[in-house]
Amino acid sequence: MYAAIIVIGYRYPGTTALSVQIGYILLGVTFVQTLLATLYAPIFRIFFPFLPRVGGLRPSKHQRQHEQEENIAILTPLASTNNTYLTVAVYAIDVIICGLVVYFSGPNGGAPFFGDSSPFYRYGMSAALATAFAYRYRGALVASIGYDLFIVFAMLVRVPGSPPYTSINVVDIAGSLFDTPLVALIAASFASLLASYAQSKRREQDNARRERALVRVSETLARGATDRQQLVQHSVTPMRQGGHFQRLMIALVTLAESDETGKDMPVEPLVCVEVDAQSNLPDDTQAFTRQVLQSSQKLDTFEPFHDQSGYGIARLYLPFYKDGQIQLVLGAENVRQTPYGEKQEEFLAITGAQLLVALENIRLTEQTIELNAAAERSRIAREIHDGIAQLVYMMSLNTETCATQAHRIAEASEEDAELVLPLAKRLDTLVTISKQALWETRNYMFNLKPLMSGTTNLTQMLTNQLREFQAISSLPTHFEVDGIEETQNGDQQHLRRYAQVGAAVFRIVQEALTNAYKHADATQLWVRLHLAPKQVAVEICDDGHGMQAAYYTYDLVDNGERQRIYSGHGMRGMRERAEELGGTFAIAPFPEGGVKVQVQIPI
């Protein structure tokens, strides 16, 4: 504007028509240069961010504000481009054009026809100022020296068509050569101080924001929840808002299970995703989560758009370990101009560790409840053993003694036989009922007490069970073991699995023995335990009066009547116990006339 006023509205003495024409041309050149430089910088995207972008994805207003707050360094758009050579070339061309404009416009400003006498002198200084703000002291010196070289050239070589220099003094030379470097160095110093202050101020603000966000997340975790899923659902929103993420994903990974080959099978994690309402990011969270679970490493990517906007999708997925296994995966996504930095990763690391601790507290609470329940069951079982079981046992012994004495009296005296035999039969019935009551009481005790505890293995547990059953029922019980039971010294996951299988086998054998004793009228039983590296199988056989064919298909009603052989609920319970652990349950006729129960469960 200053140059246009001088060229158009004022004529210095000695100004020729050629100089005026050159001035108009230079006005056009500088206008085009200013327009191109303004359009090269994304001015419209800064002041008009609501304009649509190619590709349809754009950051929200809140996200743009946070991204500008994150950009600590004060750099012009040219200095922040990725192509260094292009940036240097643009600034060099800017200095060259400004130098040539000042050189050719010297006659329009009056004597001495060079330097600060040119109407475009201050316009040319802007090239050095821009370089100073972009590259600090180094850019200020280089641009100022390059600009002064054109002024020196104008001193030595007159512009064609300009009048000769009448006088050149030291003031003209000093003013033309030292103004631009001095102003550029002051601008570089001011830019450095401003950048340092802004950096410290924004770092302080960022720390304060992050602390507030961590406090909100900590408060959410402290309030806690009764289960893991509820805790994850309550935590995802404050974590996303605290980290200024457009999408936050929490994947809670459960312990892996083993298949029939012994290999760990991946378990589909519990995934909870929170998305900004203004975001339309593509949903690829499950694929990236599986990638992190397979590689066991963090995923940090930046996928730029194809619209030359400089924006892209930044992703950061972090795994969290406990006992050598991934228990938690946190993933964050944003539409931004740069990949995620150290601040975002640190925020996810802190909040993820807090969430993992809260999840562990829930697990410990559940474990404490289970231990308390187990202790209470053991106490009740002990009370039953010391109280009701002892009384029932004494009643059984006394009843059996009375029945034996009655039979002896009947055998010794024929006269009293008619009177004593009915009493003896009733006493025999009471003996049977008391033994069944004792067996039922012992079953309740086994149901309450923990089964495989300490060094007790499955073989010992079944041996004790069958020995006690034989003592109570007086039925000969044969126990065979095929294979050797190895000592379980594996990982916790395998130990838990083996304990579950052992408990299921014990309960199934217990139910089968009870059914045979109460309903089958068996005279003896056989139990065979088959131990394999990847499987446990058990067979329970009796020589009772067997079952009708309808019962082999779990049909509890035959010809409209419910039979008494094997209770339906017991059969259903045995089958469910086996199938819950991935095993099989079958009932088949036994060659000796009874029933054979077959169970196979993988370990």
Convert 43-93 into a string of H (helix), E (strand) and C (coil): HHHHHCCCCCCCCCCCCCHHHHHHHHHHCCCCCCCCCCCCCHHHHHHHHHH
Residues 339 and 237 placed together within one structural domain of the fold: yes
Spell out the residues 6+ positions from residue 76 whose beta carbon is closer than 8 angstroms to its own.
41, 130, 133, 134
Beta strands in 57-158 (DSSP E): none
122: tokens are 């201050």
C-alpha span between 239 and 348 (Å, rounded) = 8
Helix axes 414-448, 388-412, angle to 10 degrees: 160
Residues 286 and 330 placed together within one structural domain of the fold: yes
**Does a structural domain hold residue 593?**
yes
Residues 103 and 134 placed together within one structural domain of the fold: yes
C-alpha span between 239 and 235 (Å, rounded) = 6
Of the candidates 538, 544, 539, 541, which has an alpha carbon nearest to the alpha carbon of residue 518? 544
C-alpha span between 86 and 78 (Å, rounded) = 9
Question: In this predicted model, what pLDDT tens digit does every residue of 271-294 receive, in sequence order?
Answer: 788 787 777 788 888 889 889 988
Question: In this predicted model, what pLDDT tens digit does every residue of 151-166 receive, in sequence order?
Answer: 899 888 888 767 777 6
Residue 220 vs residue 402, higher pLDDT: 402
**Under 8 Å between Cβ of 568 and 561:** no
pLDDT confidence of residue 549: 45
What is residue 128's three-state secondary structure? helix
**Does a structural domain hold residue 437?**
no
C-alpha span between 320 and 296 (Å, rounded) = 9
Residues 190 and 229 placed together within one structural domain of the fold: no
C-alpha span between 289 and 283 (Å, rounded) = 12
Q: How many beta carbons lie within 10 A of that of residue 399, not counting itself?
A: 20
Of the candidates 549, 461, 550, which has an alpha carbon nearest to the alpha carbon of residue 508? 461
Question: In this predicted model, what pLDDT tens digit does every residue of 420-473 receive, in sequence order?
Answer: 888 888 888 888 888 878 777 877 776 666 555 556 788 888 998 898 888 878
C-alpha span between 266 and 263 (Å, rounded) = 10
**Under 8 Å between Cβ of 473 and 435:** yes
Task: Compute CA distances 145 → 56, 100, 140, 184, 466, whole Å.
Answer: 46, 14, 8, 11, 103
Residues 22 and 150 placed together within one structural domain of the fold: yes
Residue 419 vs residue 479, higher pLDDT: 479
C-alpha span between 115 and 270 (Å, rounded) = 73
Residues 248 and 191 placed together within one structural domain of the fold: no
pLDDT of 303 > 70? The answer is yes
C-alpha span between 30 and 126 (Å, rounded) = 12
CATH number for the domain including 362? 3.30.450.40
pLDDT confidence of residue 71: 47
C-alpha span between 310 and 59 (Å, rounded) = 12
The pTM for the full model equals 0.51
Spell out the residues 6+ positions from residue 443 whose beta carbon is closer than 8 angstroms to its own.
510, 514
Picking from 202, 234, 265, the residue at the C-terminal end of a domain is: 202
Question: Among the ranges 86-100, 102-116, 551-565, which has the highest mean pLDDT value?
Answer: 86-100
Residue 46 vs residue 150, higher pLDDT: 150
Residue 213 vs residue 174, higher pLDDT: 174
pLDDT of 65 > 60? The answer is no
C-alpha span between 385 and 377 (Å, rounded) = 12
**Does a structural domain hold residue 12?**
yes
pLDDT of 315 > 90? The answer is yes
Picking from 168, 202, 236, the residue at the C-terminal end of a domain is: 202
Residues 530 and 601 placed together within one structural domain of the fold: yes
Residue 542 β-bridge partners: 525
Dihedral pair phi/psi, residue 275, rounded to 5°: -125, 140
**Under 8 Å between Cβ of 140 and 131:** yes
**Does a structural domain hold residue 376?**
no
Residues 262 and 180 placed together within one structural domain of the fold: no
CATH number for the domain including 508? 3.30.565.10
Residues 145 and 269 placed together within one structural domain of the fold: no
Residues 350 and 497 placed together within one structural domain of the fold: no
Residues 173 and 246 placed together within one structural domain of the fold: no
**Under 8 Å between Cβ of 508 and 574:** yes
pLDDT confidence of residue 331: 92
pLDDT confidence of residue 557: 41
**Under 8 Å between Cβ of 434 and 399:** yes
**Does a structural domain hold residue 207?**
no
**Does a structural domain hold residue 534?**
yes
Residues 26 and 170 placed together within one structural domain of the fold: yes
pLDDT of 562 > 50? The answer is no
595: tokens are 């029933």
pLDDT confidence of residue 454: 53
Question: In this predicted model, what pLDDT tens digit does every residue of 35-57 receive, in sequence order?
Answer: 877 665 544 455 555 555 444 45
Average pLDDT taken over every residue of the chain: 79
Picking from 334, 350, 366, the residue at the C-terminal end of a domain is: 366
**Does a structural domain hold residue 242?**
yes
C-alpha span between 60 and 50 (Å, rounded) = 9
Which domain range does residue 272 map to? Answer: 224-366
The number of distinct structural domains making up the chain is 3
C-alpha span between 359 and 339 (Å, rounded) = 30
**Does a structural domain hold residue 208?**
no
Spell out the residues 6+ positions from residue 96 whose beta carbon is closer than 8 angstroms to its own.
146
Kindly report whether the peptide bond that precedes residue 112 is cis, defined as omega within 30 degrees of 0: yes
pLDDT confidence of residue 284: 85
